[in-house]
Amino acid sequence: MTSKKRVLTAIARQEPDRVPVNYLGNAGIDARLRAHFGTNDLNAALGIDFRFVSAPHIGPKRHAGTGGVDVDVWGIRRRWVEHETGGYWDFCEWPLRDATVEQVDAWPFPTADDFDYSGIADACERVGGYCVQCGGAGWPDVINGCGMLRTMEQVLIDLISDDEAGLRLIDRRQAVLLEVARRTLEAGKGRIDLLCLGEDLGTQRGPTLSLDLFRRHIKPRIAQFAALARSFNIPAMIHSCGSSSWAFDDFIEMGIAVVDTLQPEAKDMAPAYLKQRFGDRLAFHGCISTAGPLAYGTADDVRKTVRETLDIMMPGGGYLLSPTHQVQDNTPVENVLAMYETARAHGRY
């Protein structure tokens, strides 16, 4: 099978020739893997079945940072924070924390016209044998995406209290992302296979918010993206951290085909539970925890975890192996290699 056929077969909950695999990693582990393989193309080196296309931002620079603060096109502010194995661009200022409706309306956001879609079709053509995906965990990502400007605490308060300024921020951001998604899919001319979405809905121990609150404010916004995917006749996959299986029935109702992340250590997220409860209605992407043996165990521990996960998730199709999040700086290279070597050896039907 081609990678494209392999992925789409698994998403359709049928058995491909082998389990498809994906890779996510941060800059530190990426650099060490590139040095190991002697190439910058980690997708090829690891045998990854997915490729990503996007429209780069070419619009005006509406925000500027000072004093070592990096500011992106949305006005989100980050500062570099080092730790013993690398570092992160961490959030350091929240300019709309106390914003009024008028201040939210005046905040400079990018528009869909600020992105260049002209190269999408050619990019899709170059990677046509793979599963071509667009979007990501930030679409629509209400809680995190708006929390980066307003604080996560305030966004949750906004949702609970129907705060007008908070809801206005959510809808302004959503409108831009939805139109960027539409134009990206149009530019792909039928060559984009998967629309990726995200909304972190769980902690390790349970839901971040109630089901009623999810259905009032979050579900209708995700549903707009799911409907867009259906209009282009492609599946949608949604990322959600933590204990999020409580929302899976609603995902299914919206027409979402694949759930991503699947942290096995979180409540009601064990592979056996997910497969038994939802395996006839959803495909699964993830399950290999970046906070478990991959980071803290030996290569043999990783092989054991991957084999056990495959034994549970493979039957009948519907499984795409991936780390739950970006593989982190503290992960040994040999553990990453063990994950993909085991997937290739043990993941054949």
Q: Domains in the chain: how many in total?
A: 1
Quick one: pLDDT at residue 206?
97
Quick one: pLDDT at residue 181?
98
Distance from first CA to last CA of the chain, Å, rounded?
Answer: 12
**Structural domain contains residue 24:** yes
Quick one: pLDDT at residue 6?
98
SS3 43: helix
**Structural domain contains residue 88:** no
**Structural domain contains residue 267:** yes
> Whole-number mean pLDDT of the chain?
97
Q: List C-alpha distances in Å: 96 to 109, 137, 295.
A: 12, 22, 36
Quick one: pLDDT at residue 30?
97
Quick one: pLDDT at residue 264?
98
**Structural domain contains residue 85:** no
**Structural domain contains residue 75:** no
Q: What percent of the chain lies above the pLDDT cut of 90?
A: 98
Quick one: pLDDT at residue 69?
96
Residue 278: enclosing H or E segment and its boundaries? Answer: helix 271-278
Mean pLDDT across the stretch 269-286?
A: 98
DSSP state at residue 245: G
Per the structure, the complete domain to which residue 318 belongs is given by: 3-60+96-346
**Structural domain contains residue 55:** yes
HSE, side-chain direction, 13 A CA sphere, residue 3: 18
Quick one: pLDDT at residue 97?
98
Determine how many CB atoms are found less than 10 A away from the CB of residue 258.
24
Question: Can you give the pTM of this predicted structure?
Answer: 0.97
**Structural domain contains residue 52:** yes
Question: For position 304, which CATH number holds?
Answer: 3.20.20.210
Quick one: pLDDT at residue 333?
98
Q: How confident is the model at residue 336 (pLDDT cuts 50, 70, 90)?
A: very high
The string of pLDDT tens digits covering residues 62-88 is: 999 889 999 999 999 999 999 888 899
224 contacts 231 by C-beta, under 8 angstroms: no
**Structural domain contains residue 152:** yes
Distance CA 97, CA 147 (A): 9
The string of pLDDT tens digits covering residues 215-264 is: 999 999 999 999 999 999 999 999 999 999 999 999 999 999 999 999 99
Burial-class residue 66 by CB neighbours within 10 Å (0-12, 13-18, 19+): exposed
Q: Which of 216, 313, 220 is nearest to 264 (CA)?
A: 313
Quick one: pLDDT at residue 145?
97
Q: How confident is the model at residue 37 (pLDDT cuts 50, 70, 90)?
A: very high
